[in-house]
Amino acid sequence: MQKIYDIAIIGAGPAGIATAVESVLCCINNIILFEKGQNHSETIRKYFDDRKPVDRDWKGLKVDLKGNIEFEDGTKNGTLETFNKSLLDHRIDTKFSTEIDEISKEGNHFHIKTNTNETFIAKYIVVAIGKMGKPNKPDYDLPKSLKDRINFNITDCPGHEDVLVVGGGDSAAEYAYLIRTDNKVTFTYRRDKITRANPKNTKNLLDSVKEGVIQLKLGVDILSVTDEEGKCRVNFSDNSSLVYDRIIYALGGSTPKEFLSKTPIVVDEKGKPVVDENHINSDGIYIAGDIAGPLGGSIALALNHGYNIVQDIIKKDNYCLKQ
């Protein structure tokens, strides 16, 4: 008879790891964690620069941590080590390099088909896949010939370049600030005032503007980007046209609609998962992390999602609480 897991968790980021850890600490050991990447916390690894601070109070959002994973302000490497230790210490059964092809519900159980031609069965599903695996792109075409010159993070920014950072949120402000010392940086945002970034990032950005190390180009849209001898020519709505060595887009991430369409997850008219106050999407399905609401991006909030979900499952099935 095929093994039936109590909980199958999809996504080994902060929310997924927290769900797994809190499950084990509540004596729910029959769990499995799926991750399409080769390691946990792929979003942090890929989109956080080594120089980028990792804030507990992301965007100034203060979160009272409820669970058992200790998390404070720190560095990228420190945060990764925290999650690595959590997985190892609690011996979480994790399937890396495993993508979910389809989820179906048969009776009271979910059948999970993977790209490894395996099928797993679970009583509960927790979807914690995040958004940044699919970063938002502009609505105008980007030349394929510039693919090495157009990025969605700063990990491939070598330095000594004329760089345009596009966006108005925390990532855009942080990217511009972090690369300012060894690049000529221009920060552009379609609105005439920076309102989406938190106070700390906004101050760092504006102080750098005052110091003359970052240029601002606000209140304009980018109409198009063309290839000019291997560099990026950017045509703006104010009729200006400038050439940059590199463009870094920081436009957030989008809900993975293709994945959701292959599951019984209920979505709204915009294609976003429906979530109630207990993170329930539908019977037996929970949503956690970035895709659980508009405040995605907070690691602390994602950790609480994992804790809250496990507490709800315990109430339903009367699992023994570990003392």
Q: pLDDT tens across 64-75, in order?
A: 999 999 998 889
Q: What is the pLDDT of residues 29-63, one digit of tens each?
A: 999 999 999 999 998 888 787 877 888 887 677 88
Residues 73 and 152 in one domain: no
CATH number at residue 80: 3.50.50.60
The answer as to whether 323 is a domain residue is no
The domain boundary, picked from 221, 249, 277, lies at 249
**93, two tokens:** 């059964």
The answer as to whether 322 is a domain residue is no
If you average pLDDT over residues 91-98, what whole number do you get?
96
When pLDDT is cut at 50, 70 and 90, the band that residue 323 belongs to is very low
Residues 271 and 230 in one domain: no
Angle (CA) 49 75 44, round 5°: 50
The domain boundary, picked from 218, 249, 280, lies at 249
Residues 148 and 225 in one domain: yes
Residues 56 and 109 in one domain: yes
Question: Who's near 120: CB < 8 A, 6+ residues apart?
Answer: 5, 8, 32, 111, 112, 114
The answer as to whether 283 is a domain residue is yes
Rounded Cα distance between 157 and 176, Å, is 11
Rounded Cα distance between 69 and 85, Å, is 10
Rounded Cα distance between 319 and 217, Å, is 56
The answer as to whether 31 is a domain residue is yes
In the block, residue with structure tokens 């855009």: 172
The domain boundary, picked from 205, 223, 249, lies at 249
Closest CA to 142 of 227, 251, 235: 227
Q: What percentage of the chain carries pLDDT values higher than 90? A: 73
Q: What does each C-alpha distance from 153 to 138, 148, 158, 175, 272 come to in angstroms?
A: 15, 12, 12, 8, 24
Residue 211 belongs to domain spanning: 144-249
Residues 170 and 221 in one domain: yes
Closest CA to 106 of 118, 121, 119: 121
Closest CA to 220 of 164, 171, 293, 160: 164
Q: What is the pLDDT of residues 260-297, one digit of tens each?
A: 989 999 999 888 899 998 899 999 999 999 888 766 67
Nearest 10 degrees: Cα torsion 255, 259, 264, 270: 30
In the block, residue with structure tokens 């420190």: 78
Neighbours of 3 (CB within 10 A): 9
Q: What is the pLDDT of residue 322?
A: 43
The answer as to whether 139 is a domain residue is no
Residues 178 and 78 in one domain: no
Rounded Cα distance between 240 and 317, Å, is 63
Helix (H, G, I), strand (E, B) or coil at 212: coil
Residues 57 and 177 in one domain: no
> Which amino acid is it at 186?
T
- Which of 45-49, 102-106, 156-160, 273-277 has the largest mean confidence? 102-106
Domain total for the chain? Answer: 2
* DSSP collapsed to 3 states, 46-64: HHCCCCCCECCCHHHCCCC
The answer as to whether 259 is a domain residue is yes
When pLDDT is cut at 50, 70 and 90, the band that residue 120 belongs to is very high
Answer whether 248's CB lies under 8 Å from 166's CB: yes
Residues 21 and 152 in one domain: no
Residues 239 and 267 in one domain: no
Residues 63 and 165 in one domain: no
Answer whether 199's CB lies under 8 Å from 60's CB: yes
Residues 242 and 286 in one domain: no
Neighbours of 179 (CB within 10 A): 23
Specify the length of the chain in residues: 323
Half-sphere exposure of 153 (CA within 13 A, CB side): 17
Average pLDDT, the chain: 92
Helix (H, G, I), strand (E, B) or coil at 135: strand
Residues 244 and 108 in one domain: no
